[in-house]
Structure 1
Amino acid sequence: MREVLHLDNPHPNTYHGVCAAGGRGRAYGGHIAAHAVLAAHRTVDPERAVHSLHGYFLSMGRPDEQVRYEVQTLRDGGTYALRHVTARQRGDELFTLTASFKKVEEAADRHVVMPPAPDPAALPTQSEAANRLWSGIDPASPIRRVVDVRPVLGDADDGGSGAETGGQHRRMWFRIASDMPDDPAVHAAALTYCSDLTVARTAALGHLRATGTTGTPAQNLYLASLDHAIWFHRPCRADDWLLFVHHSPTSGDGRGLTTGQVWTRTGTLVATVNQEVLLRTRRSTTTPEPALVP
């Protein structure tokens, strides 16, 4: 994972990184977002941690090519700091990110209870649900190597909860497969990297059921992330198991929305994720474009 998140810093407030493929021939959006928040983190006081990020995907990136991340300081207050990042490739803007950072404060702490889920050790390392999840990811992408994913069987992929009421619901355990350094900024970036892996598919499944389409989203739909937001509630380690519970309440007008919560194995709520995705049925062509499952 260190190699995946590596950034060069050739000039002040400027970082370079190379992003992996998501769908064939397309850069993985979660990798670009992870690099962007890590670049922003490198420009703030180490005592501050990211507590929220809001990003917009502007154009398709090319995998295995350098991306330039330009960080702009918007605010450095007593507690909060705000940064804006623009990601460019070959001069084209790919992604913009606004990220907010803060110092730790002593305050009352509360959160809702984690929903029930089987322990990840009780789930198979390989399953049809996992194969469907990976179906839109380039087989050569390092995502498959660095992220360990175990979907909870019986959820949306298998015709489970939410389908009959217009929504989609899915639970999935994930972790970075190798040990990581203790740097909280790296763990926040790694969580960002993983957060973009499955939310688009959850929105897409509702669309497939609504239209009566069979097959996987990668086979039938054109998907691309439009925007992505994360609120980091508490620190966590991305190399420990995290439960990602996501729900897609709606799709329509060529878009789908998914919201999710991330929990530690011991039941601590660490993050909330929202994403809107472009969602279109494929046109029949002799040479269809590759699907993008960010």
Structure 2
Amino acid sequence: MTRAARDAAADPAGASSQSSVPVDASGMPHGQPVLDRLVALLDLEPIEENIFRGVSPAESPVRVFGGQVAGQALVAAGRTVPSDRRVHSLHAYFLRPGDPSVPIVYEVDRTRDGRSFTTRRVVAVQHGKPIFSLSTSFQIEEEGMDHAESMPEVPAPEELPTYGERLGAMAHEIGGMANLPRPVDIRHVTEPPWLSRRQGPRDARSRVWMRADGELPDDDLLHVCLLAYASDLTLLDSVLIGHGVYWGVDKVQGASLDHAMWFHRRFRADEWFLYDCSSPSASGARGLATGNFFSRDGSLIATVVQEGLLRVAD
């Protein structure tokens, strides 16, 4: 990563002062300049063999966003794998809250290099302690059996309001991620959780269209990392919707505990995909959420499962 790229990733305010950055209906930056800064954020700095360093944007929540550290860890793993092998799965644990004010060091263990599969383990370290661990597997392309679930019938993304239009003035009431630059275009198919909470508990399901808010380079690993980043944006919403509460506007304490993804078919993260999420269970101050990603033509491209810590105060 060049110094300019690191500066742009770590200081979005500084980068926006050098070029015009569009804002959405809620006043938050979005579009190609914001997406470019996320791409720069994922361009890790190699500091030693199998060791990489990443940064967080200056405009961050109080802890590092889980999708960011997952995407950066996947980049670190991919930098040690031959280009003819594609990610097909990842399994991760969030061990400690990440500190956005200091760099994150990613240490890669080259676990196995087989004829068809390559396995890597990555540990993200801050202040001398692991904050995140990732195991991921890569595979050469092979032919085999092929079937998939069908995509549900939903309105097209162009028929739906933007995230900013839906959020409006509530962005400041919700706080957190709602007040940060948006590199991903999100269009809610189901009613947004900050509105549906007024109706009380309902079906524990969230459906949104998503895409990277701009154009991405033709780098397969980058598109996978963008999908991993996006997968953490709305997944646990399906748990909260089922109980009529939401971050920021209700007394909800939450954090991702673990995260697993399986990548089934090729896709582009800068083209529309549907994220269909549901929650089969919540108990013991934890909620489980599952999600399927479908490309616009109906192909199932990835599956996600996550458990989150969710505590709701009276």
Q: TM > 0.5 between the two?
A: yes
SS at match of 2:221: helix
Partner of 1:218: 248
Q: How far 1:127 sits from its partner (Å)? A: 3.7
Residue 74 (structure 2) pairs with residue 37 (structure 1): yes
Deviations 1:16-73 (Å, cap 9, x if unpaired)? 1112489731110110000001110111111000000000000001114210000001
Partner of 1:229: 260
1:128 to 157, 162, 166: 166
Change (3 A) 1:139 1:112: closer
Which structure has greater helix proportion?
Answer: 2
SS at match of 1:234: coil
2:276 to 245, 248, 260: 245
Residue 132 (structure 2) pairs with residue 101 (structure 1): no
Distance 2:298 2:187 in 1: 17
CA contact (8 A) 1:234 1:269 kept: yes
Residue 199 (structure 2) pairs with residue 199 (structure 1): no
Distance 1:168 1:184 in 2: 32
Q: How far 1:271 sits from its partner (Å)? A: 0.2
Report the count of equivalent residues: 273
Partner of 1:2: 39
Structure ranking higher on relative contact order (CA contacts 8 Å, 6+ apart): 1
Q: How far 1:2 sits from its partner (Å)? A: 1.9
CA contact (8 A) 2:73 2:122 kept: yes
Distance 1:118 1:274 in 2: 25
Decide which moves more: 154-163 or 23-32.
Answer: 154-163
Partner of 2:90: 53
Q: How far 1:217 sits from its partner (Å)? A: 2.5
Residue 204 (structure 2) pairs with residue 173 (structure 1): no
Q: How far 1:259 sits from its partner (Å)? A: 0.1
Distance 1:4 1:34 in 2: 9
Change (3 A) 1:110 1:150: same
Partner of 2:56: 19
Distance 1:133 1:224 in 2: 20
Q: How far 1:90 sits from its partner (Å)? A: 1.7
Change (3 A) 1:27 1:111: same
Structure 1 gap ranges (5+) = 210-214, 284-294
TM-score, reference length from structure 2: 0.80
SS at match of 1:128: helix
Residue 171 (structure 2) pairs with residue 141 (structure 1): no
Deviations 1:152-195 (Å, cap 9, x if unpaired)? 1447665499955xx50111011111211111000000100110
TM-score, reference length from structure 1: 0.85
Distance 2:148 2:200 in 1: 24
Residue 289 (structure 2) pairs with residue 258 (structure 1): yes
Deviations 1:103-159 (Å, cap 9, x if unpaired)? 0001232111111111111111244368879935345534x2x11111114476654
Distance 1:94 1:194 in 2: 20
Residue identity in the other structure for 1:273: V
Residue identity in the other structure for 1:15: F
Distance 2:156 2:58 in 1: 30
CA contact (8 A) 1:22 1:137 kept: no
Structure 2 gap ranges (5+) = 1-37
CA contact (8 A) 2:193 2:237 kept: no
Change (3 A) 1:79 1:136: farther
